[in-house]
Structure 1
Amino acid sequence: MHLKRIIAATTALVSLSLVTACEDADADRTPAVSGPTTGPGPSKDGGAHADTLQQAQVYVQRYASCERMSTDPTDGRLPLTEFTAPGKWSVTERGVCSDRVGHGEIVFYMFSDMKAFQEGYKQRVLTKIASGDPDYGLFSRVLVGENFAVTPTETATALKLSRSDLRVLTCNPTARVPEGYQQQKGPVDGCVLSDFVASEDGDGSPNLETPKDPATEGEAPQPDQPRAGSPGLPRAGSLTELKQLVHPHTVDCTGYSTDPATVAIESIDYQPVITGAPRDWGVKERAICGETGGAQRAHHLTWLDMVSDMELLQTRAKAAQQEDLKDDNRLKATASRLLVGQNIAVETNDVAVRNGLYQLQFLSLNCRPGFSAPAGYRVEKANVEGCVLTNYEPGAEVGGH
């Protein structure tokens, strides 16, 4: 089953790796780069190596279309949002070629210091995250070799290049490489090199993990804990750990409370999944994040749950969801969706928050009759009949990195 590393927080956030630059009407007049006299290839250390931009182009052409190379900084095929340029991150030269087969472009960066390049990219990712773009770099299309990097605009092209000695550089701290793919730490702490291409459009690397049914597999559970073994879902040992898992890049828990009266607050704009006593839903501890109101209107409410009985929680949530669906087969926009891990859950009606939780491997409970998801999304067995766990939300697909 394919793994979709889904969905960025908002369509307004754009990264270099997804920008599809317009073809310049005058591109034929840009200076072309001549072919190499010697062939590029893997170095003695196993990474892709090229002595010149021309050799880097030839290397890429073994795996993907790359025509009409240009080093003109005004070439209209270059991304509208600058990633980096000569003089930064030890970059010595930049070029761009047309990916005719993939209907996109590939931008090249020759650099003199691998660590300096990766450190520059890491700082860019962290700066974007700090500025309010927590998903920047999750769908990285930065593929690096020993002394050059490429950033294709198309997922299918990145997938082709991942089969070479180039490796996908990922520095977002919430990113995860699934089992079955090669990965290694980069020369910069916090960065990973892998052959896994994450993509929200479903065309990236397939999910090679074999899902486990938590109801039938794994070791016997400890008291008040679900059975071990699950389809890669996250877990936490306490509300504090759960808060640390989701805050601050996915859920804003600046306003946080475990006070039962505060947790029980509902808003006209934010309706939780759980109503009444949490223990009647199989939840042993519960917290709320966000601005709960008072003199001001409530904002950004999200509920965090430590679950002692996942089957009971999903059974109650299924009944609530079907009650909401029965009139027009649609869920109210203000109604929260239940996203679950192994022994934890989050309730939120914020699409952007849910997108971030999917990156952390949470899956949402969907009990809509006849539900199906396109190829590339996850659909796993739920704890109750008639429901699935998924990261696909019809109509909620948005652009990303």
Structure 2
Amino acid sequence: MRIQRILATTAALTCLTALAGCKEGGDRSSPPAGASAASPAGTPAAEGTLAAAQTQLRKFASCEDLSSKPGDPRLPAGDFPKAGQWSVEEVAVCSDTSETGAIVIAVPKDMKAFQEGYKKYVLDRMAAGDGAYGLFDQVLVGKGFVVFPTRTPTSVKLVRSDLRVLVCNPGGRVPEGYKREKPLVEGCSLTDFVSSEDGSGSPNFEIPQNPDNGGEAKPGQPKNGSLGLPRAGSLAELRKLVGNSLACEKNYSTDPETVAVSSIDYVPVVTGNALDWGVTGRALCGQPAGERRAHDLSWLSTVGDMKKLQAKAKAAQQADLKDDGRLKATTSLLLVGENVAVETNSPSSRFGLYQLQFLYLNCKPGFTAPGGYRLEKAQVDGCVLTNYEPDHPAA
């Protein structure tokens, strides 16, 4: 992250405070609450905004030991917005203890002037030869305040609120799946996408993750192509195929109400109307909740439209990854064959399914597999089929 470059000059950082004048949704008809406040620095109005900002931030990230002392050692080195500069009324800093970083909070008097100043600074830096300036500098606009975290993971947490990243570099893009809103100045945008150079920002689901790079062989699979995927002509055949890997022998049901069950411990991939997922038949293995808590749940599907299934599963997986880049522990993984699929959150069960040549649909940006594991194209862009799980690698 290049927040130090924003803090390197007074002009850059004072820009950060004008951002707070953006209304959610880009409505420029009137500023948000506090946007036109003109109370001098250090007054109760400014202090009240700082306290309110801390309260809002703490709903999504750690923001401890708030201080407005100019000499606070947590403030980034170099210049930063001071009271009276670039419409800044008050500046404070708090500690993000969970990410071992800090969050600087600036309270502006004129939000639009701040945004205009930031935009001008970005364009001046670009004209001076730094064409990428502003693409990775995380300036987050709130209602009545602006923050700039010193750690990228902090920004990722904060954009889950109504805070938005201000981007004024014309080369900045908002990938599919993220919001793009209008700020108070033309030529910039507000987004919940956090861009970073090191990959620790928001996942970019538009980046192709398919492993075929034009070489003779794909990583993790033989040069002669895929080892193949399993298939079954019916749910009964699929039940028999996976019988040794899943609890399907004694506890098996195709009753729609039973199949639709889920629990806090077992969350299926396919939800709602199975036909919308390209699924033609569906069954449940394992014991639903009754006298005792549900256990060993997994779902079997025959698939009429594998591309539709993978597309829907990709969207569900991306929604799960968006908050923190991780899948919920109770969410099942989708393992596919040619015309069948299995959903389970049991690593040991998946290990058995991998031996049957099922492969897991992985749509996490940047995923790759080491040599010796299978890594093949999925039927949807941005996903791969693999038998490698970083958290549960096969011995």
Higher RCO by CA contacts (8 Å cutoff, separation 6 or greater): 1
What is the TM-score of this pair, normalised by structure 2? 0.43
Radius of gyration: which is bigger?
2
- Give the number of the structure whose residues are more often helix, by fraction: 2
What is the TM-score of this pair, normalised by structure 1? 0.42
